Amino acid sequence: MSAYKKEVWFTIIMSLLFLLSGHLGLFFSLFPVDGYLFGFPIMYIVPILSGWFGVLVLVFVAGKIGNHIDDEIDKENQENEKIAARG
């Protein structure tokens, strides 16, 4: 799989994860759950953890993986330039 295809799939998957993480609180407001997590009601703490902190974690993951994919693209472009220079 070329690095560009990886980048497209990575963008689609991360977009879906960002949307899911950022809007998970909506599900907890539609379907309230009784119980406690870390001493807070689940219907309040889970949206905060998945929303604010979930998106923060996803930003770090997206940055790390995105940099890795960009390095692969640069490497692939350099290999293509070498092949084009020979032929």
Kindly give the confidence (pLDDT) of every residue in the chain, 87 residues in length, as a single tens digit, with 9 standing for 90 and above.
688 899 999 999 999 999 998 888 788 778 878 889 889 888 888 888 888 888 999 999 999 999 999 999 999 999 988 988 887
DSSP string, the chain: --HHHHHHHHHHHHHHHHHHHHTHHHHHHHS----EETTEEHHHHHHHIIIIIHHHHHHHHHHHHHHHHHHHHHHHHHHHHHHHHH-
Q: How many CA atoms lie within 13 A of 72 on its CB side?
A: 13
φ, ψ for residue 47 (rounded to 5)? -60, -35
Amino acid at 9: W
- Per the document, the length of the chain is 87
Whether this model's pTM surpasses 0.85:
no
For 10, the domain range is 3-86
pLDDT at 49: 83
Structural domains in the chain (count): 1
